């Protein structure tokens, strides 16, 4: 019997796990019950352990995220010698140049990068697209909040509104993420701009401060401006009335070209679905007899166009240009905001100075009557021809 002992011993001999490769660790990402390999460990006969690349690394295992070592009669068997080949999505190569020394570092929240092989060299992450589900798989960046989704696959990020801020955060497993109010007294804290009824006391974005308006004055919420802003008095009256003699809700600004007053006025027009006063449009654009009806017709009823773009288009055709500060103040608003009533007519041509009311159906008449002829084909003619006839 003793003559057969060596054979029996060989058949059940253990194996020793060798040193694992660069950035290879024990485990199986698809099965946390698998035995992880450890370099130098003893693997008994018919036992198996698993290895996989560390988080953020791709490998030469095309069909699996891990591979195993198995001991059979003292011989260690494996499907392949697992090696890293590059960095996974949302991990940048921060150091190294080959399979034995690359370092993959996770992108910060709000950043992303596609998978890269080790030969790509050192890389940097770029801004993700918060509106696309899963683009910001590492979380939302500074001053963005997780507006939907609960995982890296479906997360969406939305910018905080003026007056609110947020720190960068990894993906949240709930939909309770919100921006918080900034402290306007701390320079630079309100980096997204000032909330409604707070004016910007400094034009330096990195040192922006927001101060509450005095009683009787208002201002719309705004992103950071290149210059300090001021609150507008709320008692200014307007020269525009509707045909049933009911006063308009939104007062025309006392200073037609003040960026702060512009923003407050257009926000009021949008809220109450009114058209901007003709004298205000004329002062803003320097175009005589400019009305919402004519502007909407000139852009062929494209009321989703920004006010700045629409005015800029008309003024360019007249060899004029829109003041830069005014353009910045109105760029956040569309024609739907400044010319809500005219836009609600769906492009119907009306006599100069009149529009159809969105809610009451009454016609809006400018206090100063116009003498331009009614043109029934406004929406069909080129902009240049329309301007030559209308203005």
Structure confidence at residue 290 as a pLDDT band (50, 70, 90): confident
Cα dihedral 34→38→41→42 (10° resolution): 20
Q: Which of 106-115, 232-241, 334-343, 366-375 has the lowest mean pLDDT?
A: 366-375
Distance CA 42, CA 161 (A): 59
Q: What is the pLDDT, as a whole number, of residue 381?
A: 41
Cα dihedral 120→125→129→134 (10° resolution): 80
Distances in Å between the Cα of 160 and the Cα atoms of 130, 132, 190, 348, 372 are: 12, 17, 10, 38, 45
Q: Which of 62-71, 156-165, 341-350 has the lowest mean pLDDT?
A: 341-350
Residue 266 burial (10 A CB sphere; 0-12, 13-18, 19+): buried
Query: Which position has the higher pLDDT, 302 or 256?
Result: 302
Q: Residue 325 pLDDT > 90, yes or no?
A: no
Q: Residue 169 pLDDT > 70, yes or no?
A: yes
Structure confidence at residue 106 as a pLDDT band (50, 70, 90): very high
Average pLDDT over residues 331-346: 83
Q: What is the pLDDT, as a whole number, of residue 209?
A: 93
Element (H, E) at 330: helix 324-330
Percentage of the residues of the chain whose pLDDT score is greater than 70: 81
Q: What is the pLDDT, as a whole number, of residue 280?
A: 83
Q: Residue 114 pLDDT > 70, yes or no?
A: yes
Q: Residue 373 pLDDT > 50, yes or no?
A: no
Domains of the chain by start residue, with CATH: 2-82 (2.10.70), 106-181 (no CATH), 184-225 (no CATH), 241-390 (no CATH)
Average pLDDT over residues 361-375: 34
Structure confidence at residue 52 as a pLDDT band (50, 70, 90): very high
Q: Which of 118-127, 230-239, 249-258, 369-378 has the lowest mean pLDDT?
A: 369-378
Q: What is the pLDDT, as a whole number, of residue 235?
A: 53
Average pLDDT over residues 82-97: 94
- CA 290 to chain centroid, in Å, comes to 34
Average pLDDT over residues 263-272: 85
The closest of 315, 298, 319, 274 to 375, measured between CA atoms, is 298
- Give the list of residues 6+ apart from residue 289 with CB closer than 8 angstroms, or none: 278, 282, 352, 370, 372, 390, 391
Q: How many Cα atoms occupy the beta-carbon half-sphere of 342 within 13 Å? A: 33
Distance CA 322, CA 369 (A): 25
Q: Residue 244 pLDDT > 60, yes or no?
A: no
Q: What is the pLDDT, as a whole number, of residue 294?
A: 86
Distances in Å between the Cα of 264 and the Cα atoms of 64, 236, 270 are: 59, 12, 10
Number of C-beta neighbours around residue 52 at 10 A: 25
Distances in Å between the Cα of 305 and the Cα atoms of 227, 322, 332 are: 25, 16, 10
Query: Which position has the higher pLDDT, 77 or 3?
Result: 77
Average pLDDT over residues 148-177: 93
Q: What is the pLDDT, as a whole number, of residue 309?
A: 85
Residue 292 has phi, psi (to 5 degrees) of: -60, -40
Please tell me the pTM assigned to this model. 0.55
Structure confidence at residue 89 as a pLDDT band (50, 70, 90): very high
Cα dihedral 372→377→381→384 (10° resolution): 10
Q: Residue 388 pLDDT > 90, yes or no?
A: no
Percentage of the residues of the chain whose pLDDT score is greater than 90: 45
Give the CA angle between residues 334, 305, 158 to the nearest 5°: 65
Q: What is the pLDDT, as a whole number, of residue 64?
A: 65
Q: What is the pLDDT, as a whole number, of residue 247?
A: 54
Average pLDDT over residues 233-255: 60
Query: Which position has the higher pLDDT, 294 or 151?
Result: 151
């Amino acid at each position: 019997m003793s003559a057969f002992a060596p054979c029996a011993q060989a058949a059940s001999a253990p194996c020793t796990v060798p040193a694992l490769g660069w950035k290879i660790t024990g485990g199986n990402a698809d099965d946390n019950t698998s035995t992880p390999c450890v370099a130098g460990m003893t693997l008994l006969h018919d036992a198996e352990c698993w290895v996989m690349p560390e988080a953020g690394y791709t490998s030469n295992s095309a069909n699996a995220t891990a591979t195993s070592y198995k001991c059979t009669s003292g011989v260690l068997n494996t499907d392949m010698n697992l090696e890293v080949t590059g960095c996974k999505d949302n991990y940048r190569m921060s150091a190294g140049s080959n399979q034995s020394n690359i370092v993959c570092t996770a992108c910060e929240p709000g950043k992303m990068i596609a998978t890269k092989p080790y030969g790509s060299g050192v890389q940097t992450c770029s801004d993700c697209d918060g509106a696309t589900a899963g683009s910001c798989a590492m979380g939302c960046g500074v001053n963005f909040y997780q507006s939907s989704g609960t995982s890296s696959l479906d997360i969406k990020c939305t910018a905080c509104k003026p007056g609110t801020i947020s720190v960068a955060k990894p993906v949240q497993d709930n939909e309770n993420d919100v921006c918080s109010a900034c402290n306007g007294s701390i320079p630079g804290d309100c980096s997204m701009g000032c909330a409604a009824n707070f004016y910007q006391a400094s034009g330096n974005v990195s040192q922006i401060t927001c101060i509450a308006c005095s009683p009787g004055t208002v201002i719309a919420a705004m992103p950071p401006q290149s210059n300090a802003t001021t609150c507008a008095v709320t008692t200014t009256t307007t020269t525009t009335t509707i045909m049933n003699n009911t006063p308009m809700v939104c007062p025309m600004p006392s200073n037609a070209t003040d960026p702060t007053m512009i923003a407050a006025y257009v926000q009021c027009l949008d809220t109450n679905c009114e058209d901007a006063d003709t004298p205000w449009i004329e002062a803003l654009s320097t175009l005589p007899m400019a009305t919402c009806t004519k502007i909407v017709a000139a852009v062929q009823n494209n009321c989703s166009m920004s006010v700045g773009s629409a005015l800029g288009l008309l003024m360019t055709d007249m060899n004029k240009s829109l003041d830069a500060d005014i353009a910045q103040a109105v760029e956040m608003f569309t024609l739907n905001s400044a010319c809500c009533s005219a836009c609600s007519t769906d492009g119907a041509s009306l006599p100069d100075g009149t529009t159809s009311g969105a809610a009451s159906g009454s016609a809006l008449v400018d206090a100063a009557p116009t003498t331009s002829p009614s043109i029934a084909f406004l929406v069909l003619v080129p902009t240049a021809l329309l301007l030559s006839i209308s203005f």
